[in-house]
Amino acid sequence: MAAKAVCVTGAGGFVASWLVKLLLSKGYTVHGTVREPGSGKYEHLLKLDGASENLTLFRADLLNYDSILSAIAGCAAVFHVASPVPSTVVPNPQVELIEPAVQGTTNVLQACLEAKVQRVVFVSSISAICIGPNMPKDKVIDESYWSDKDYCKKTQNWYCYSKTEAEERALDFAKRTGLDVVSICPSLVLGPILQSTTVNASSLVLPKLLKGGDSFENKTRWIVDVRDLVDAILLVNEKHEEERRYICNAHTIKARDLTEKLKSIYPSYKYPSNFTEVDDYLRLSSEKLESLGWKYRSLEETLIDSVQSYQDAGLLQSQ
């Protein structure tokens, strides 16, 4: 029997690359959408075990419906991972963030409906859950919470606005059309990188701490390992539960405690010398995901493997 074909959008990205790797290891035939299939940016995908037999890269632009449809045709499941994640201020959020996230998602879902895809897993973010002035500090934040879009606009948090709008539209599209859509909302994704040619925004977080600086905000960090996230993505695709939305978070830690943990493993890096306090603690629950059997690795393992891969890629000097 031929292996089931699945499609991963934005296949060259940090999370998507690990997802492609996992899917190939499980024997899936994978269609990956990328902007320029011949580019050296995607060499790491072609070197993955099983890629020569089971991976096809499709040139696709999220805003070009036909290009998306041709990549999705014949697939039983689609993992919509592609979405712009800025590491700096965005001069034109409508063009750079909101349209690709929102219109891009609509195009992917419409193509899935037309191609009779059995299930879509939409990778959202906790940014679509917990951003707003009225988040309760004394309650557990679960999947019933949504970020406040007006507040995101007011504070020019365009990434959170785009993720919230895109996920709302995805789940609404599912209700209207009957398309089977499940969303997963990961926290900050750390872990080893598979490619050194392009660096994603989340992989800049640890190097910043390891390079030190005068003062850092003692923000709460919610963290999940990329390898545990892709396990979760596959899990929610394979389990047919009633739930439509899953938080994916493993560890909650303040920036100062994270720095101390790094210092205990890597004492010779420069670290921030002081922290200013921030009252931003929220309790996020991944209980629904854990009830499906999801497990995650220790924070130490994630930190060690991340730092090792940043050193190998030249993002960090070895100390």
Q: Are strands 220-225 and 251-254 parallel, antiparallel or unpaired?
A: antiparallel
Residue 129: burial class (beta carbons within 10 Å; 0-12, 13-18, 19+): buried
Per the CB < 8 A criterion, the answer to whether 206 and 303 are in contact is yes
> In whole angstroms, what is the distance from residue 11 CA to residue 293 CA?
26
> In whole angstroms, what is the distance from residue 207 CA to residue 71 CA?
36
Phi, psi of 308, deg, nearest 5: -60, -45
Helix (H, G, I), strand (E, B) or coil at 195: coil
Helix (H, G, I), strand (E, B) or coil at 298: coil
Per the CB < 8 A criterion, the answer to whether 63 and 83 are in contact is no
Instruction: Identify the active-site residue in 21, 149, 163, 254.
Output: 163
Nearest to 248 by CA among 111, 121, 89, 59: 121
* Cα dist from 137 to 39, 140, 145, 185, 187, whole Å: 46, 8, 13, 20, 18
**Which residues touch 6 (CB under 8 Å, ≥6 apart)?**
23, 28, 29, 30, 31, 75, 76, 77, 78, 79
Is 163 in the active site? Answer: yes
Phi, psi of 257, deg, nearest 5: -70, -35
Nearest to 179 by CA among 122, 236, 117: 117
Residue type, 181: V
CB environment 181-207: b (16+ within 10 A), e (fewer): bbbbbbbbbbbbbbbeeebbebbebbb
Active site amino acids: 163
